[in-house]
Every structure is written in C-alpha cells, then in structure tokens.
Structure 1
Amino acid sequence: MSLYIVLFIIGSYFLGNINGAYLVTKIKTGQDIRQLGSKNAGARNTGRMIGKTGFVITVIIDAIKTFLPLFLSVYLFGYHDLLLILVGLAVMLGHVWPITLGFHGGRGVVVFLATTLFIAIQSFIPLILIGLLTFSIARNFTIAGSIGMLSIPLSTYFLHQSIILSIGLLILLLFVFYLLSPMFDKVQHAIFNKNSIKKTDKAK
C-alpha cells in the first residue's frame, strides 16, 4: 500500500469528522445536538429535535461526506474492493469518533448506507423489500431497518461476487449494530412492556 493511499485513508477519516447533525443543529439553534434528546449526533435525533428539514439536511451532509472520498478513491487509484472498504471504514470511524468533536459523534447508519449505495447499489433492493415486509409485521422502524440491513452483506456477495465487499460491509454493519445496541435494548423493553399490558388486559 503506497504512502499516497495511506494519506488518503487518513484524510477520509478527517472528512468523516464533518458531522451533519452537529452542524445543522448548531446553525439552527446554537445548541449542541449531543446535549439534546438521545444525545446522539445523528440524523434521527436531529429530526426529533428540529424537525424533518433538519433530518433531511443531516442525511445529505453525511451522505456527501461518504460519497466524496469513495468517488475520489476510484478516480485517483482505480476501482479496488479493499480500498473502498477501507475508505468507508475510515469515514465511519471519523463519524463515530471525530477528533474535532472530542471523539463523540454519531452511530454511523447513514455512513454505512451511503457506503453500500456507492459500492453495491443493487443491494438496496432486498434491503427495501425485506425492510418493508418486516415493518408491515413489526410496525417498528428500528427492527425493520435492522433486519433489512442484515440482507446487505449476503446480497452483495451474490450480486457482485466479491467476498471482500461482502465481508467488508458485514464488518461495518456489525460495528453499526454494536453502536445501536442501546437502542435495541429500548425497543426490546418497549415490546416486553406492550406484551405485558396486553396480557394484563386479557386477564381482566
């Protein structure tokens, strides 16, 4: 791996430091999104705190900062599966642990989806179909989105015949799931409480 590629990957990390949620909330309200709501510097929390426009702008910023280094890596060094994964990982690490924000960033969902969109766009078809089917049953966006995203590594392998892309996206996804684990706990707790209430109502 050449020095230029190493420097490019490091630069991708710093580009990942640009946090859409932090910028949008700071400009609109003067407040730090990491002190509001769920205290997560991500699109979902921004949408809850300042509305749908804030959510959309945050997604756009985080997607662009992911697309840009991926595009430049192909333009400068050619299309290499491993390099794309490393660049996506660098942006992810910069988003989650930004040195410019005291290593307190977002959870990386948009970065993961943007990386997938760039290198394996066909994988969005099973993601959407499985996500919609799951939502029609579970009626929960977190569960539907998570199960839908689980299809990405497998569909990437079958559609692109690249074990590097498949394993790379799986690693990124597991990293995102690890960061989302507190949210999964809340969803599980909410479902448990809902079922308990139903059983109590039936008993009455």
Structure 2
Amino acid sequence: MLTALAIILSYLVGSISFSYEIGKQLRKLDIREHGSGNAGATNTLRVMGIGPAIVVLLLDAGKGIGAVFLGFYLSGGSPVIAATSGLAAILGHNWPVYYGFRGGKGVATTIGVLATLVIFPALIAGAVAIGAIIFTRYVSLGSLIFMIGTTLITAIFYNYFEYPFYYVYFLIFITLLSIWRHRLNIERLLSKTESKLGEKAQAKQGEA
C-alpha cells in the first residue's frame, strides 16, 4: 500500500510545472505558448531570463530528488520502488495531470533522479554534458549526452560503484524516453538548424 502511495505521490509532485506557475506569477503568461513552447528551464531562460530559469531548474531537479527519497522512505528502503518513484516524477513532469498532460521533456527532473540514484556516473556524464553545452551551445545535445553517458557508465561500472544491475534497465528506459522526447531536436541537430543557447527559439518547434 505504501509503495503504491509513493509512486502516486511522486507522479503528482512531478506534475507540478514550476515553469508554468512561475510564468503565470511573474509575467501572467503560459510558458507553453512562448519561445519553444516547452515547459522547462531552457525555455524559461529564453522567455523570462536567468533568474527564473535557475529557480525552475532547481525546483524541477528537486522533484526528482524528492521522489527517489520518498520511494526509499515509504518502501522501507527498496531501490526498485525508489527508482520507480523517480520515473513516476519524470512521467509527471512530461505529462502533468494538472495541465492537460502538456509538460516538458523532464531533463531537470531526470537529473535529480539520476543524481540521487547513481550519483557518480551522473557527475561524470554531467561534467561532459556541461562541457558540450559550453562548447556547442546546444542544450539539447548536452541533455542527450548526460542521459546516454550516465547509462553507459552505470552499465559498465555498476559493480565498481556497487549499484544493483536493474538500475541499468531503468536508465535505458528513461534514456530511450528522453531520446523520443528530443526527437525533433535530434532532427534539427542533424540538419544544423537547432537553436543555440542565447538564441531565440522559434515558437512551438519543441526545442529543449
């Protein structure tokens, strides 16, 4: 019963769209109707500036961290339920029940989940991803590098880090989910038409 409660609560907390709520409070706008149309930190940066974007990034990541700890706590320490609760928060961010199931891509929430479950692979992949963003100014590319890198490092070194192997299956799933959510970005990266950090995105084109 408590394990089911952990997963449900994680989805409901994950469904809180901080970019939407901050946009409404500060600018009286729906973030999904501006910039790239994505409800996330990068589009918040484009539309509202660095301050609100940092707040959104931290709060969205906090949803993932909180969901994993909630799963651990209510399940009596089960890594499976902790991972499932983290996934529920990501799904909530992507398809939020409160906002007509129109959410973001779940990158920041995923960062929070992975940094809690597999912190060392996440830190290594995160450093590479940040370098890629600085060098190319493509946030979507950095996001994909982070997901794929964390998954590969965990799969190769899970014994060294003493992580349960089923975390690898979980990471593969959320990486495939992220790739699918970024499919338009991937097309634009390949055609070299993706918006770079600092540039204005075309509305409703699905940038990060």
Q: TM-score range by the shorter chain?
A: 0.7 to 0.9
Structure with higher helix content: 1
Greater than 6 Å deviation, 4+ residue runs: none
What aligned pairs does 1:28-67 form with structure 2 within 5 A after superposition? 28-67=26-65
Alpha-carbon distance in 2 for matches of 1:136, 1:51: 18
Alpha-carbon distance in 2 for matches of 1:133, 1:149: 14
SS in 2 for 1:86: helix
With CA pairs under 8 Å and 6+ residues apart, which has the higher RCO, 1 or 2? Answer: 2
Q: For each residue in 1:78-123, what CA deviation from the matched residue of structure 2 results, as whole angstroms up to 9, or x when unmatched?
A: 3322112210111111111111100000111111111000111101
SS in 1 for 2:38: coil
TM-score where L is the length of structure 2: 0.83
Match of 1:70 among 49, 68, 71: 68
Match of 1:165 among 157, 164, 167: 167
> Relative to 1, partners in 2 of residues 1:93 and 1:141: Cα closer, same or farther, differing over 3 Å?
closer
Contact 1:46 1:55 in 2 (8 A): yes
Per-residue deviation, 1:7: 2.1
User: How many residue pairs were aligned?
Assistant: 190
Per-residue deviation, 1:162: 2.1
2:7 corresponds to 1:5: no
> Relative to 1, partners in 2 of residues 1:116 and 1:137: Cα closer, same or farther, differing over 3 Å?
same
Q: For each residue in 1:33-54, what CA deviation from the matched residue of structure 2 results, as whole angstroms up to 9, or x when unmatched?
A: 0100111101100110000111
Q: Which amino acid is 2:182 matched to? A: L
Contact 1:156 1:162 in 2 (8 A): no
Alpha-carbon distance in 2 for matches of 1:8, 1:139: 37
Find the structure with the greater CA-based Rg.
1
Alpha-carbon distance in 2 for matches of 1:63, 1:136: 20
Alpha-carbon distance in 2 for matches of 1:119, 1:185: 30
Contact 1:59 1:110 in 2 (8 A): yes
**Which ranges of structure 2 fall in alignment gaps of 5 or more residues?**
195-208
Per-residue deviation, 1:142: 2.8
More off after superposition, 137-146 vs 24-33: 137-146
Identity %: 28
The residue that corresponds to 1:175 in the other structure is 177
Q: For each residue in 1:157-189, what CA deviation from the matched residue of structure 2 results, as whole angstroms up to 9, or x when unmatched?
A: 313342111110121111011101111112222
